[in-house]
Structure 1
Amino acid sequence: MLLGGELKKSLKHSLFSFIALLAVVSLEAPALASFSQQNVNIFSEEIEFLWEDDPIGLSIFLERTEERLPRFENSFKQSSVNLDVHWTLIAAISYQESHWNPKAISDTGVRGMMMLTQKTAKEMGIKKRTNAEQSILGGANYFQKNLNRLPKEIPKLDKIWMALAGYNLGFVNISLARELTLKNGGNPNLWSDVSIYLTKILIERYANETNEFEKHVQAIEYVKRIQLYYQTLSILNREKEMLLLAVN
C-alpha cells in the first residue's frame, strides 16, 4: 500500500501513463508536453481532494483503473449507448459491486461484474452472470429500469442517486422512503431528504433481521462510494479527452 508522498507519486504516474502512451504514437509531442505541464497537477489535486479521507483506497482504485478497467471499458461504453447516463457511472457501479472482477461472488449468491441476483439476471435476459459483457449489459439495463420508474420532475442527479439506492436495496424501499419524506414535510425529489427517511424505512422493515438490517443500512454509504468512483473516473476521462484534443 502507498501512503503520503509515495501515493502522490503513484497518482501522478497514473495520470502520466496515458500521456506517455500517446507520446509514443503521436507526432505532436511538443503540444503533449505542454499539456502535461499545465494540467496533470490540477487533475492530481482534484482527485487527491476527493479521496483525502481514504488514501489507501485511492491507491487501490488507481491500480485497478490501469490493470483491470481497460479490458472492460468498451463493454461499459457499449452498455450505456441507450442509457441516460455516461459510461463512467456504470463503471463506477461495477467497481463498487465487484472491483471489476467478472468472477466475483458474494455469500448471498450474487455474482459477476455487476453482482446480479439470479432473479435480476433472468429479468434482464442474462444467461451467464460471470460473463463480463452480459453482466455489464444486464446491470446497466437494470439501473436504467430503476431510473425510468422515478418521476420525471426529479432533478437528474437526485434521480441517479435514488436509482443507485434502488439498485442496491430494491426499488420498493425507495418508493416507501419518498412517501415518508413527503409525509414529514421533506422534498421527495431530493436525495438529501429521501436518504434521511430511507434509513427510517430500513429500521422499520429490517430491524428484527440483523443480517438484513446491516446489509440494507449500508445503502447510504453504497451511494456515497459510487459517487466518489464516478467523480474520479469522470476526472480521468476528462483528462483523456483533453489529451486527445491536444494531439489532434
Structure 2
Amino acid sequence: MRKYLFTCLLLFSLLACKNAHTSQKDVNVHDLPQIKDSGELVVLTLYSSTSYFNYRGQDMGFQYELSEQFAKSIGLKLRVEVAKNIPELVKKLKSGKGDMIAYSLPITKKMKDSLTYCGLEVITHQVVVQNNEGKTKPLKDVTELIGKDVYVKPGKYYDRLVNLDKELGGGIKIHKVTSDSITVENLITQVSEGKIQYTVCDNDLAKLNATYYPNIDIKLSVSFDQRASWAVRNDCPLLAKAANEWYKKNKTSPDYAASTKRYFELLKTTIHSPILSIEDGKISHYDKLFKKYSKEIDWDWRFLASLAYNESNFNPKAVSWAGARGLMQLMPATARSMGIAAGEEDVPEESVKAAVKYIASIDKSFSMIHNKKERRNFILAAYNAGQSHIYDAMALAEKFGKNKLVWYGNVEDYILLESNEEYFTDPVCKNGYFRGIETYNFVRDINDRYKVYKKKIKH
C-alpha cells in the first residue's frame, strides 16, 4: 500500500512539474499572437541616413517607413528602439527588448544559428564615388584605380580596397581617413566639391547622396554582392512568415515605391533663379507679404525673403522630398499646428503667416541667447533641422569646450558632427543621427544672400 501511495505521489509530482514547465514555456512565447495582444510592434534599428532619423520634428528614414508600412499591414502601432551598433542590435533582439530588427543586417551563416532572416531583403555592394564633372572621365573598370588617390574610412571599405589592391598587384594609393570628425558622407561631399578624387561606400548610401549631389558617379562596383535583411528571433516563426508575406506582396506597392523614390531618387536640392527685378527693387512676387508679416517678428523683410528663396525658390506649389509644402516649406504637422488648414499649404499668404508664427515660437525657445542677430542664426538652424538637433549641437559644443550660445565657429561645427556615430551616440546627444551639412550651409546661405539683398534692394 505504501509503495502504491509513493508511486502515485511520484507520478503526481512529475505531472505537476511537466505542467509547470509547459505553462512557463507558454508564458515565454512572444510571437505574432502575443505581439498583436500588446497592440504594438517594437522594431530595433540604428540611426543613419538610410534607416532612421528625425527631421524637422518628424521621424523619417527608408527602413523606418517600411517597418511602419509592415506594422500597419498587421494592424499594429509602431514603436522604435535604437541601438548603438549591430552587436547591440542583435543582443537587444535576443533579450526580448524588441520584436524585430528593421535594419539591413548582413546575412551570414553565423547569424542564422540564432536569428531568422525575413521581411525586407536587399542586395548591397561597395562602389567608387567619383566626380562626373570636368575633363577627367569617370572610371569604368577597377583596374583604372591603379595610381589613383582613394580616401576611405577604416573598416570594411578600407579592408576591401586593401584586398582589391592585392588582387590588382598593387598601385592604388589608399588613404585611411582616421579623423573622428570626418564621416563617409563627408568624404562623398568632398568628392562632389572636387576636394578629393575618389572614395568608397555602400551603394545604398551612394544612391541617397547622389540625390544631394547630382555631379557624382556611383556606377563602378568594387565588391561582390552582399545580401542583407530584417530579422526576428528563431522562436517567432509566425512573425517571420507575416513579414515575408508582406514583403512579397508589397515590394511593388505604391507606398513602397514612394518610399524608395523619396530617399533614393528625388533630388534634395532646389534649383534657384536670380532676383526677380533689381531695377524695380523687387526680390519676388511676394515682397508685400514679406514686408507685412516680417514686422511681427521684427525682422528685415529681405531676410525673410532670403529664407523663402532658400526654401522654395519662391514657388508656392513646391513640395520637398520630405513632404514640406508651400512658399515657406512647412512640414504638414507644423503647418497644422500653426493654423494652416488642410489644402491651403499652397496659398502664399497662409504659408508666410504660419511661418512667421512658427519663427516666433522658435524664438522663445532660444531666449537664452540675448544677442538678437546671434539668436536669429539659431532660429534659422532650427527652422531647417528641427529644434531637437540644435539642442544636441549646443550640448555637444558645451561638452567639448565651445560656446553653446554662438553659432558660427561653435555650434555649427557640432551640427556637422551629428552625422558621425561617435557624436550622435554621445550621451548628451538625445536625438540621434542628423545630416548636419544641410543646416550648416542653410544658415550661411541665407545670411550671405541677405547681404546681397541689402546692397541691391532698398528697404
Same fold (TM over 0.5): yes
Q: Secondary structure of 1:129's partner?
A: coil
Deviation at 1:133, TM superposition (A): 0.4
Q: Deviations over 1:145-202 (max 9, x none)?
A: 2122113444222211111010000001111111111111111111120111122234
Matched, 1:61 2:270: no
Counterpart residue number, 1:198: 415
Deviation at 1:234, TM superposition (A): 1.8
Matched, 1:85 2:299: yes
Q: Which runs of 5+ in 1 are unaligned?
A: 1-58, 207-211, 242-248
Q: Distance in 1 between matches of 2:355 and 2:277?
A: 20
Counterpart residue number, 1:50: none
Counterpart residue number, 2:345: 129
8 A Cα contact 1:97 1:113, kept in partner: yes
Deviation at 1:70, TM superposition (A): 4.5
Deviation at 1:100, TM superposition (A): 0.6
Counterpart residue number, 1:42: none
Q: Which runs of 5+ in 2 are unaligned?
A: 1-271, 426-432
Deviation at 1:213, TM superposition (A): 4.8
Q: TM-score, normalised by structure 1?
A: 0.64
Deviation at 1:107, TM superposition (A): 2.2
Higher strand proportion, which one? 2
Counterpart residue number, 2:450: 230
Between Structure 1 and Structure 2, how many residues are aligned? Answer: 175
**Structure 2 residue corresponding to 1:159, chosen from 351, 375, 386:** 375
Counterpart residue number, 2:290: 76
Deviation at 1:121, TM superposition (A): 0.3
Cα 1:64/1:172, change in 2 over 3 Å: farther
Counterpart residue number, 1:186: 402
Cα RMSD between the aligned structures? 2.4
Higher helix proportion, which one? 1
Q: Distance in 2 between matches of 1:195 and 1:92?
A: 19
Q: Deviations over 1:214-245 (max 9, x none)?
A: 5x4311011111112211222233xx35xxxx
Q: TM-score, normalised by structure 2?
A: 0.36
Cα 1:168/1:153, change in 2 over 3 Å: closer
Q: Distance in 2 between matches of 1:103 and 1:64?
A: 21
**Structure exhibiting the larger radius of gyration computed from Cα positions:** 2
8 A Cα contact 1:98 1:113, kept in partner: yes
8 A Cα contact 2:275 2:284, kept in partner: no
Using the aligned pairs only, state the percent identity.
Answer: 27
**Structure 2 residue corresponding to 1:220, chosen from 436, 440, 444:** 440
**Larger RCO: 1 or 2 (CA < 8 Å, sep 6+):** 1
**Structure 2 residue corresponding to 1:100, chosen from 305, 309, 314:** 314
Q: Distance in 2 between matches of 1:70 and 1:151?
A: 31
